[in-house]
Amino acid sequence: MPQDENKEGIGGMANPGRYGIERVAYWLMRLSGLGLLAYFVAHIYETSNILRGQVGWDELMEMTSTTEGHAILAIVIGMCVFHTVNGVRVMLGHGGVGVGKPTRPDYPYVPASQNYKHKIGIYSAIVLAAFAMMYGLAVMFGE
Amino acid sequence: MAQVSIIADEQTSLSSSKSITLRISRYNPKHDDSSIFTEFIIPYEKWTTVLDAILEVKKYFDHSVAVRYSCRQASCGSCGMMINGKPRLACFTKISELNSNVITVEPMNNFPIIRDLAVKFERMFESHHKIKPYLIRDDTELESDAKEFLQSPKEVEQYIQFANCIKCGLCNSACPTMATDSSFVGPQALAQAYRYVADSRDKGKDSRLKIIDESHGIWRCHFAGSCSQVCPKGVDPAMGIQLLRGYLLGFRS
């Protein structure tokens, strides 16, 4: 990218530190979306192994039923729950639901669209994802 | 990004026991490969703004620093720049409120650089012009026998917040979509599209919605909200964009 363009690029897009929890949610949404896409591709490959018969299937299950495999699955569970809950929040916001009403702004200009409803939605998505991951880990490692 | 330090601590017009290091990004796209930082020690008072400090540099140390400014009261939207990593108006940002001994100023991201801190606004103005930022209707209130278009206070409240836009470009600079998509229309223009769509005097809603309903239009906004957080006039572009999208999704009519 030419310097003259001065675009922030992927690094600037992904930098979650400067603009509060909403930008963190934006970043996590992109990251979990890409993660779920990668899992979807891997999952299709995994399940297609059933065509190799019982032996092939068992071989693959043995490979994925490891500590690392369970840790990856726990992350997938977290990504799935966060992406779903935050996705519902974002979809409602996209329709104009919960983004506040236009009014005459007063200094110090706190943006109404960044209100507590959406913050609660974001924190709920993170907390639910964490609980789901813990539950998944308990099920996978609890046996 | 290469870095060079030139510490200048000569006497300036500001006399104070407190001082900061002002790091100014220097870059001329015509003959520089990359930007460098030049550093200056600037005394400051409680009320000194970042623009004041930059003008001190121009006055006493290096007059070649390129910066755009005009009104010095957050009305003209000229002095937008990255101040300690966030887009802000230099005239509207006091050094004392940054709580840092080092102030780094860079040109706004997502805008082509003219030189140093001055950036090109052409593309933003083109996008702004594209969404038809004026009332569209067949009749006019300018004719001698016509009455003015009356509005109730409630109708004015629907758009007056968005009419505060000073076209400073801070929202476009903070937008994560603008960071990667050169064709995105941007939060500034989208918020202005809402400003006119929500105006009860305007009859151009359908034509404006058609303009923004394209692949690099309103659908590229993912509601990160950074635009609203940096707006120095309380415009809240994120709200305007979501309300505007509500028209396209059928939530509003």
CATH of the domain at B74: 3.10.20.30
Q: Is B34 on the interface with A (CB under 8 A)?
A: yes
Contact (CB<8Å) A26/B234: no
Q: Please state the rounded mean pLDDT for residues A65-75.
A: 92
Contact (CB<8Å) A105/B242: no
Minimum-distance CB partner of B228 among A3, A13, A114: A114
3-state helix, strand, coil in chain B (%, to 5): 30, 15, 55
pLDDT at B73: 94
Distance CA A117, CA A103 (A): 18
Minimum-distance CB partner of B245 among A7, A96, A112: A96
Residue B11 domain-assigned (yes or no):
no
Instruction: Find the residue in A nearest to B249 (Cα).
Output: A95
Q: Verify that B176 and B233 share a domain, yes or no.
A: yes
Report ipTM for this prediction: 0.87
Considering B66, B97, B119, which residue would you say is the last residue of a domain?
B119
Residue that wins the pLDDT comparison between B238 and B3: B238
Residue B7 domain-assigned (yes or no):
no
CATH of the domain at B132: 1.10.1060.10
Q: Verify that B126 and B243 share a domain, yes or no.
A: yes
Contact (CB<8Å) A102/B226: no
Q: Verify that B171 and B59 share a domain, yes or no.
A: no
Considering B85, B102, B119, which residue would you say is the last residue of a domain?
B119
- Rounded to a whole number of angstroms, the distance from the CA of B63 to the nearest CA of chain A is 23
pLDDT of A1 over the 60 cut: no
Least confident of A1-15, A16-30, B211-225: A1-15
Q: Give the up-direction half-sphere exposure of residue B2: CA atoms within 13 A in the CB hemisphere.
A: 8
Residue B3 domain-assigned (yes or no):
no
Q: Verify that B126 and B244 share a domain, yes or no.
A: yes
pLDDT of B106 over the 90 cut: yes
Q: What is the side-by-side strand order in the sheet with B19-26?
A: B36-43, B19-26, B102-106, B80-83, B86-89
Q: Please state the rounded mean pLDDT for residues A30-59.
A: 92
Q: Verify that B185 and B239 share a domain, yes or no.
A: yes
Q: Verify that B226 and B129 share a domain, yes or no.
A: yes
Q: Verify that B114 and B211 share a domain, yes or no.
A: no
Residue B209 domain-assigned (yes or no):
yes
Nearest to A113 by CA among B217, B247, B223, B252: B223
Per domain, the residue ranges of chain A are 11-96+111-142
- Rounded to a whole number of angstroms, the distance from the CA of A31 to the nearest CA of chain B is 14
Q: Please state the rounded mean pLDDT for residues B119-146.
A: 89
Residue B61 domain-assigned (yes or no):
yes
Considering B119, B141, B162, which residue would you say is the last residue of a domain?
B119
Q: Verify that B78 and B169 share a domain, yes or no.
A: no
pTM: 0.90
Q: Please state the rounded mean pLDDT for residues B213-242.
A: 95
Instruction: Give percent above pLDDT 90 in chain B.
Output: 83
Q: Count of domains in chain B?
A: 2
pLDDT of A95-140, one tens digit each? Answer: 898 999 999 999 889 999 999 999 999 999 999 999 999 999 999 8
Between the CA of residue A69 and those of A32, A74, A136, B216, what are the distances in Å? 18, 9, 12, 39
Note down the domain range covering B190.
Answer: 122-249
Q: Please state the rounded mean pLDDT for residues B193-207.
A: 95
pLDDT at B13: 62
Computed over every residue of chain B, the mean pLDDT equals: 92
Q: Verify that B133 and B245 share a domain, yes or no.
A: yes
Distance CA B130, CA B7 (A): 46
Q: Verify that B109 and B132 share a domain, yes or no.
A: no
Nearest to B193 by CA among B137, B250, B150, B136: B136
Q: What is the CATH number that goes with domain A11-96+111-142?
A: 1.20.1300.10
Contact (CB<8Å) B246/A23: no
Q: Verify that B89 and B132 share a domain, yes or no.
A: no
Which 8-state DSSP code applies to residue B105?
E
| Beta strand spans in chain A (E) | none
Distance CA B206, CA B218 (A): 14
User: A-chain residues within 8 Å CB-CB of B73?
Assistant: none
Q: Verify that B55 and B171 share a domain, yes or no.
A: no
B102: exposed, middle or buried (C-beta count within 10 Å: 0-12, 13-18, 19+)? exposed
pLDDT at B182: 85
Residue B50 domain-assigned (yes or no):
yes
